[in-house]
């Protein structure tokens, strides 16, 4: 079977606008969650989120083109540019054998909200002609492929909070099946809007710690009360192993396992069985190796954190390694989360450091693993697992190996 490795990384989120500053801030336990500034949250029950800061979309596309794309595409372009530069591709790269695999849970929600308001207040003739092509999820891959000239498969995953992880596994499958030599994965989300925050708040899914944003997202803590919305993007360049070695590429790691499953249980409440089966599938594909670190889905919701803990223990038993969630630092970036967390896993392997779970102060008897709660920890990470679970009962798991 053809092997797949990662040779380029990019990332942007609420604690940094590139992979190095983001990873450093995450490991230092910095928190990018604060009172919402993108819109006025005064009349909302939830007033906090993890917004990307000091980002100018005209730095990633021509100023006159900015209005043609939603913010999630702007963020995705930023991450993709960083990953492509990081991969240091040769001039003779065959772009007809270079594809795109994009992921987003919601896509252009700000554009949908804005143009719906225009429809009601000003009529259908005032809707922007750029609305549809700028809001569709697959246009993330479309804009990125046009910018970088990739002419291979152009795929999109729209699987809620598992979209970024599924985008990586889909890219991996494409290379394994010889559909491409290289794939650029990009996962992006920007749903911090009135309807986005209001919708999740109506479901009682979000934390309401408006008076203390920095401690609002507290994965695995007994006093957790919901997730905090984040936004951001991540990008990874995947290559067939032999061709990457032949060109002397710097390799961050190899994807040795991926697993997918469906809960068939409830539209919003996750099961234990579904995530456990996705983890088991990835683990078996990887050859049941010793896992050194698990980057948890760890949303800071009562049900997810308890079920994920139980599923990991069911799979790994006494060999369960340290597990942490970075959502306390950056919030839950929905469809971008799995991409960002994959980048964090690979950088943790590169640097030999486990990012911490912040805001853990009160033990939950149902969450009794080592969550790296005392700050970042030096550790040799040869194999890492990354979990993502989404609404609708869609699950994705990745396992990376250091080379």
CA–centroid distance for 46 within its chain? 22
Rg (CA), the chain: 20
Tokens read off for 12: 């942007």
Catalytic residue among 161, 172, 345, 367: 161
- Yes or no: domain 259-401 corresponds to CATH 3.40.47.10: yes
Q: Distance between CA 73 and CA 62 in Å, rounded?
A: 13
What pLDDT shows up at residue 270? 86
Give the residue-averaged pLDDT of 220-226. 98
Sign of the torsion formed by the C-alpha atoms of 357, 322, 162 and 254: positive
Q: Where are the domains of the chain?
A: 4-246, 259-401
CATH class of residue range 4-246: alpha beta
What pLDDT shows up at residue 269? 86
Catalytic residue among 74, 148, 166, 297: 297
Mean pLDDT of the chain: 97
Can 266 be counted among the known catalytic residues?
A: no
The reported pTM is 0.97
pLDDT category at 338 given cuts 50, 70, 90 is very high
Can 166 be counted among the known catalytic residues?
A: no
Q: Distance between CA 341 and CA 166 in Å, rounded?
A: 13
Residues forming a β-bridge with 386 = 295, 398
Q: Please spell the DSSP secondary structure of 93-127, one letter per residue.
A: --GGGEEEEEE-SS--HHHHHHHHHHHHHH-GGGS
Can 332 be counted among the known catalytic residues?
A: yes
Tokens read off for 96: 């007809």
Catalytic residue among 332, 333, 345, 367: 332
* Residue 378, number of CB atoms within 10 A of its CB: 9
Q: Distance between CA 148 and CA 234 in Å, rounded?
A: 16
Give the residue-averaged pLDDT of 69-97. 98
Residue 57 main-chain phi, psi, to 5 deg: -60, -20
The rounded percent of the chain whose pLDDT value lies above 70 is 100
How many Cα neighbours within 13 Å face the side chain of 127? 17
Give the residue-averaged pLDDT of 325-335. 98
pLDDT tens digit sequence for 264-306 = 999 988 889 999 999 999 999 999 999 999 999 999 999 999 9
What pLDDT shows up at residue 112? 97
One fold for 4-246 and 259-401: yes
Contact criterion met (CB below 8 Å) for 133 and 111: no
pLDDT tens digit sequence for 141-164 = 999 999 999 999 999 999 999 999
**Is it the case that residue 249 has pLDDT exceeding 90?**
yes
Q: Distance between CA 269 and CA 274 in Å, rounded?
A: 11
* Residue 53, number of CB atoms within 10 A of its CB: 13
Tokens read off for 300: 């800071």
């Amino acid at each position: 079977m053809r092997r797949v490795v990662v040779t380029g990384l990019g990332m942007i989120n609420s604690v940094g606008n590139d992979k190095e500053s983001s990873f450093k801030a995450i490991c230092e336990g910095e928190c990018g969650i604060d009172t919402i500034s993108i819109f006025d949250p005064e009349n909302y029950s939830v007033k906090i989120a993890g917004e990307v800061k000091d980002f100018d979309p005209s730095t990633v596309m021509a100023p006159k083109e900015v209005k043609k794309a939603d913010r999630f595409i702007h963020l995705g372009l930023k991450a993709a540019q960083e990953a492509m530069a990081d991969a240091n591709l040769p001039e003779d790269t065959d772009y007809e054998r270079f594809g795109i695999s994009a992921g987003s849970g919601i896509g252009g929600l700000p554009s949908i909200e804005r143009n719906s308001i225009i429809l009601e207040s000003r009529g259908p003739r005032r809707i922007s002609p750029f609305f549809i092509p700028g809001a569709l999820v697959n246009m993330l891959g479309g804009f990125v492929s046009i910018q970088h000239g990739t002419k291979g498969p152009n795929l999109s995953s729209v699987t809620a909070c598992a979209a970024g992880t599924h985008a990586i596994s889909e890219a991996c499958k494409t290379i394994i099946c010889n559909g491409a030599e290289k794939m650029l994965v990009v996962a992006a989300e920007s749903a911090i809007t009135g309807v986005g925050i209001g919708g999740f708040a109506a479901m009682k899914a979000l934390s309401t710690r408006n008076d203390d944003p920095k401690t609002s997202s507290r994965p695995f803590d007994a006093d957790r009360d919901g997730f905090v919305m984040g936004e951001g993007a991540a990008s990874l360049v995947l290559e067939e192993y032999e061709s990457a070695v032949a060109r002397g590429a710097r390799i961050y790691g190899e994807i040795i396992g991926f697993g997918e499953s469906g809960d068939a249980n409830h539209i919003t409440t996750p099961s234990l069985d579904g995530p456990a089966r996705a983890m088991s599938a990835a683990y078996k594909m990887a050859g049941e190796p010793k896992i050194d670190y698990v980057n948890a889905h760890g949303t800071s919701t009562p049900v997810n954190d308890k079920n994920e803990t139980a599923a990991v223990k069911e799979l790994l038993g006494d060999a369960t390694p340290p597990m942490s969630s970075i959502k306390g630092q950056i919030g839950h970036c929905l469809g971008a989360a799995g991409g960002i967390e994959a980048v964090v896993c690979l950088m943790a392997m590169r640097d030999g450091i486990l990012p911490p779970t912040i805001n853990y102060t009160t033990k939950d008897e149902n969450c009794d693993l080592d969550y790296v709660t005392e700050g970042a920890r030096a550790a040799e990470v040869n194999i890492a697992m990354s979990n993502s679970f989404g609404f609708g009962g869609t699950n994705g798991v990745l396992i990376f190996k250091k080379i």
